[in-house]
Amino acid sequence: MSRVLVTGGAGFLGSHLCDRLIRDGHEVLCVDNFYTGSKQNIAHLLGHSQFEMMRHDVTFPLYVEVDRIFNLACPASPVHYQYDPVQTTKTSVHGAINMLGLAKRLNARILQASTSEVYGDPEVHPQQEGYWGRVNPIGIRSCYDEGKRCAETLFFDYYRQHALAIKVVRIFNTYGPRMHPNDGRVVSNFIVQALKGEDITIYGDGQQTRSFCYVDDLIDAMTLMMETDPDFPGPVNIGNPHEHTIRELAEKVIAMVGGKSKLIFQPLPQDDPRQRQPDISLAREKLGWEPKVHIDDGLRETIGYFRHMLSQ
Ligand code: NAD
Ligand code: UDP
Ligand code: UDP
């Protein structure tokens, strides 16, 4: 049993990670400032003897005692991270420095939730970890993309300079229950629109692609990565290599939810990547992992979650 710190633990991925760690017998300290996360996501854990919640902003130093740190604190959807872009960069960069300083003092393992956005709008397809990316440094997505890139730099400098046991995972689009209903991400938007009988908003022509990973698969990979050999810092891609156009996703959601929603087309946001698909060969090799959940099953679970939420 370890004492595990999860920053961003009240968010979508963080709350599922807390659940998993508790189920595996660990003690969990969840740190979150509730910027995009919610108390609802962790309400069922409050009062659990292995769980502790602390309201704290990771841009400020944190003095606690733990053996493992999963650093997930950061708004993740374009709507949320663009709302206060300076704070987004601070969370990624100052947050990484503080959590790395904490890990260094404790000689604790630390895992960074990085992102496929470090590849930007990629010229290489599918994306392998060796690809350096094509990121606009001054666009509206840059606060997130460059913040996460700088965090990766800091992680690797602590690894080289201080021999810290770091782990970097690059997460590709992930979906599932506890996504924020208003965060503007495509899966939550389409499901909520379909359930309300509203039109489905496709940005651009809908031919851009994404590859969607169900949250349970993602959590499997994150926990496996944390326990890999200390000489394997990553980065490693984790995501589902099945690629779909956004239009296909919209049609699938309408077919599964039923109802009368129509597709409507709206302007494509600036710097929106045209295509994205992870090459997960490294994850297969080093983690012995690949996603198991079919998109139809994952969407069914997610639709059930939002249906319940909207009925309350
Ligand atoms: P989320 O917005 O649901 O969770 C982020 C959590 O971090 C929230 O609970 C939020 O309140 C908290 N937070 C934000 N700023 C903070 C700060 N300064 N101090 C403390 N807490 C803070 O998003 P998510 O989808 O769960 O993403 C979790 C992590 O995974 C993020 O780092 C994100 O960049 C990364 N990621 C997610 C995806 C995805 O598809 N969901 C893809 C790539 C990377
Ligand atoms: N830090 C922290 N908790 C700790 C140790 C450090 O939050 O237990 C923060 C501290 O604010 C510091 C940062 O981590 O600014 C980086 O720490 P490090 O020891 O790497 O660098 P230094 O203290 O020399 O700046
Ligand atoms: N998208 C869309 N309609 C929506 C929300 C998103 O067509 O209501 C598109 C968006 O332009 C992008 C893709 O879906 O091409 C994925 O968007 P999301 O914000 O979920 O993730 P990211 O762009 O960060 O991969």
Q: In the structure, which protein residues have their CB atom closer than 6 angstroms to any atom of ligand 3?
A: 77-78, 173, 184-186, 189, 201-203, 208, 210, 246, 268-269, 272
Q: Where are the domains of the chain?
A: 3-174+213-240+273-292
**pLDDT tens across 35-62, in order?**
999 999 999 999 999 999 999 999 999 9
Give the per-residue pLDDT at 273. 86
Assign 33 to helix, strand or coil.
coil
Give the per-residue pLDDT at 270. 85
Closest CA to 100 of 10, 166, 3, 168: 166
Overall pTM surpassing 0.95 (yes/no): yes
Tell me the angle at which helices 85-106 and 142-162 cross, rounded to the nearest 10 degrees.
Answer: 20
Closest CA to 157 of 103, 211, 118: 103
What DSSP state is assigned to residue 200?
Answer: E
Q: Which of 60, 63, 97 to mutate to test the pocket of ligand 2 (most atoms within 8 A of CB)?
A: 97
Give the per-residue pLDDT at 140. 95
Residue 218 makes CB contacts below 8 A (sequence gap 6+) with 13, 171, 174, 238, 239
Residue 259 pLDDT class (50, 70, 90 cuts): confident
Architecture of domain 3-174+213-240+273-292: 3-Layer(aba) Sandwich (3.40)
- 214 catalytically annotated: no
Q: Which amino acid is at 240?
A: N
Assign 65 to helix, strand or coil.
coil
Give the per-residue pLDDT at 225. 98
Secondary-structure percent of the chain, ordered helix, strand, coil, rounded to 5? 40, 20, 40
Residue 309 pLDDT class (50, 70, 90 cuts): very high
